[in-house]
Amino acid sequence: MSKDNCWNRNLKPKLENVGMGWANFLVMRRTHATLMNELGVNGKLVADQLGHSLDVSQNVYTQSPVESRLPGVNQLEKKPFGDVIGAQTEHRSRPVLVNC
């Protein structure tokens, strides 16, 4: 049983039926790793299922969900940048360096 044969005969037609014909094997691996992480499954178990080390599984395949990024972005927006922005507008001849 070859990987391509299994993909073309079984998985790809089902993905096309639900409008996900663009997805490939890598997308499915990342989805699996991310969903298992969200479910709280042990990272070593997921890495073993993917056939990689824990480092590769966590750093390459597991994606952080957008919803979990929102609190960090909200905190950044609340950070008091008023002094820096005000200094730039009041003293245009003196540039203010901001680390991003």
Query: pLDDT digits over 60-71, tens only?
Result: 878 777 777 788
Percent of the chain with pLDDT over 70: 78
The pLDDT value given to residue 63:
78
pLDDT value, residue 61: 79
Task: Find tokens 């005969």 and name the residue.
Answer: 9
Contact 34, 41 (CB under 8 A): no
pLDDT in tens, 34-73: 888 889 888 888 888 888 888 888 878 787 777 777 887 7
Q: In this predicted structure, what is the pLDDT of residue 16?
A: 93
Distance between terminal CA atoms of the chain?
50
Number of H helices, E strands in the chain: 7, 0
Nearest to 62 by CA among 40, 42, 39, 32: 32
User: Are 35 and 52 a contacting pair, CB within 8 Å?
Assistant: no
pLDDT value, residue 14: 92
pTM (2 decimals)?
0.55
C-alpha span between 59 and 55 (Å, rounded): 6
